[in-house]
Amino acid sequence: MGMLKKAWASLLAVIFILTIAPLNTSANEAFLDALEEDLKATHYDYKEGTAKIVKEETLTHSNGNEVIAAVVELDTVRDGIFITRKTEFHYYDATDNKILTTADLVEVEGATEFSDANIDMLGQQIIYWLPVLIMLLLIAVPALILFFVVPRFYSTTDYMNPIYEKNDNPR
């Protein structure tokens, strides 16, 4: 009976924790929605829906507004095959529901400290597997066709063999 009570208490504790965890997601959802709109406007090659918050910190604006500073990872796609994964800083005014520009960061307390502490997270990485795969296919498919298909259809030795044998020509 004691084991059943412990199992029941553990289950209730897990359910309680899982219901509390997503309480802060409404601010993150508003941030991600505003970020999607901003990224569509500022990055012409932004792949929609790829932005994710890697690290975030809450700061305060000089007018008292709550500002969320975040390190955001996003993907850009050029010509449908060249994928670049970028990591950037973005700042969101949670009170006014807008993305802050670089000029607005002067009035945000702790913005420079956040950027200095996380500067090593910035960068971009090119994803090479798709262009390499396409190049391999462009080289391999014609080579396979030349190796397997062409000798069967255009073999001059097979075509000339009956003529040589009929005329009794030496090879």
Per-residue pLDDT of the chain (171 residues; tens, 9 = 90+): 677 788 777 777 777 676 665 444 566 788 888 989 999 998 889 999 899 999 999 998 888 889 999 999 999 998 888 889 999 999 999 888 889 988 888 888 888 899 999 999 999 998 888 888 989 999 998 888 888 877 666 555 555 566 656 666 555
CB 72 within 8 A of CB 51: yes
- Domain spans of the chain, in order of start: 26-127, 128-171
3-class SS string, 1-33: CHHHHHHHHHHHHHHHHHHHHHHHHHHHHHHHH
Q: Is the pTM of this model over 0.95?
A: no
CA distance 33 to 81: 26
